[in-house]
Structure 1
Amino acid sequence: MIQPKMIPRTMTPPKPFDLEGSWETVDLDWDFMHVRTLFGSIQNWPDLYKNMLVHLKPGCGYMEQVEIDWAPQCDDDSLPTDSALSQWASKLLDAMDQYGRPMRVNPEETRQQLAVAGFVDISETVIRACYNPWPEDATEKEAARWFNMGLSSGLTALSCAPM
């Protein structure tokens, strides 16, 4: 589990456990749960969402999920479907589907699974992540540099994930 060096005194990080296993040993009444880039790791999202809700503080517990849509898109639809990047993403997403741990971002399906689990006040924020630092906005340009570095350094690992 990755934890920052400076943890507030009022926070006790949870003991590591298998998200898809039993939650019997997990403390109840969490204020906040954050999951990130787990698409491709979880086989049964409805069960995970149910477990999360049971362990959040009733009435005030908060869950946040951050995922990356690996299917490349362009604002002007100029990315050819036969580009190397499009082909790579398509093959990766298909392979993960076959493996039973999909990586596809499907907001409607996620929203429905959260609602069925009992979550309320469900909202979604989409943030554009550019592959290259071409944006003129300084913040987007910096984010694109970091995303490019992360993708470039993790491309082999992502590509081997379905194996």
Structure 2
Amino acid sequence: MIQPKMIPRTMTPPKPFDLEGSWETVDVDWDFMHVRTLFGSIQNWPDLYKNMIVHLKPGCGYMEQVEIDWAPQCDDDSLPTDSALSQWASKLLDAMDQYGRPMRVNPEKTRQQLALAGFVDISETVIRACYNPWPEDATEKEAARWFNMGLSSGLTALSCAPMVRMLGMSKEEVEGLCDRVNKEICMRSYHAYCRM
């Protein structure tokens, strides 16, 4: 766990521990837990949710989870069905399934796992994360610029290990696919997005 150098006086950061290991050393209950983009990192979500609910303050504790559904969406058919982006997402999701740490977003399954762990008042908000600044809305356009920059710079790093180890692709094949994806996600004529 990485903690900032400046911690507000009203906050006590947790001592480092393994999220998937025992939480017996966790000796506090929290008001708030936030997890972001951990799909692909956690093997047993039901156990993690159970540990989280035990360490949230009863009656007032709150957990927030943000995940990216990497399957590309396109409402106007501007993204070809055989696009490199679609191929990349399919390969990445398949590889992570084989690895045993799925990245597929399944809201109903997550809702069931949260409820079984004891969470109540479960709600979901879905937003579009556009791959490039094609939207007319200024806020969405600006967010898309940042998303494009982050994805463009991290695409190969996100893809290489799963695709080489689990799918048997060569590093050069993965890099070639990522190069094609990077070109596509910069094409404003493709009105594609993923869900968060």
Q: TM-score, normalised by structure 2?
A: 0.79
How much does 1:27 deviate?
2.4
Percent sequence identity over matched residues?
98
Distance 1:148 1:48 in 2: 31
Q: Deviations over 1:34-63 (max 9, x none)?
A: 000000000000000000000000111000
How much does 1:96 deviate?
0.3
Q: Deviations over 1:6-32 (max 9, x none)?
A: 432100111121100010011232100
More strand by percentage: 2
Q: Deviations over 1:56-77 (max 9, x none)?
A: 0011100000001111101224
Query: Is there any run of 5+ residues in structure 2 with no aligned partner, and where?
Result: 163-195
Looking at both structures, which has the greater relative contact order when contacts are Cα pairs under 8 Å and sequence separation is at least 6?
2
How much does 1:78 deviate?
3.7
Further displaced range: 2-11 or 133-142: 2-11
Q: Deviations over 1:80-113 (max 9, x none)?
A: 2210000000000000001000000000000000
1:40–1:101: 8 Å Cα contact kept in structure 2? yes
1:72–1:89: 8 Å Cα contact kept in structure 2? yes
Q: What residue in structure 1 maps to residue 167 of structure 2?
A: none
Q: Which has the larger radius of gyration?
A: 2
RMSD: 2.3
Further displaced range: 41-50 or 149-158: 149-158
How much does 1:79 deviate?
2.5
More helix by percentage: 2
Q: Structure 2 vs 1, CA of residues 84 and 64 (structure 1 numbering), >3 Å: closer, same or farther? A: same
Q: TM-score, normalised by structure 1?
A: 0.95
**Structure 2 counterparts to residues 1-163 of structure 1, below 5 A:** 1-4=1-4, 6-162=6-162
1:28–1:54: 8 Å Cα contact kept in structure 2? no
1:130–1:147: 8 Å Cα contact kept in structure 2? yes
Distance 1:97 1:155 in 2: 18
How much does 1:4 deviate?
4.3
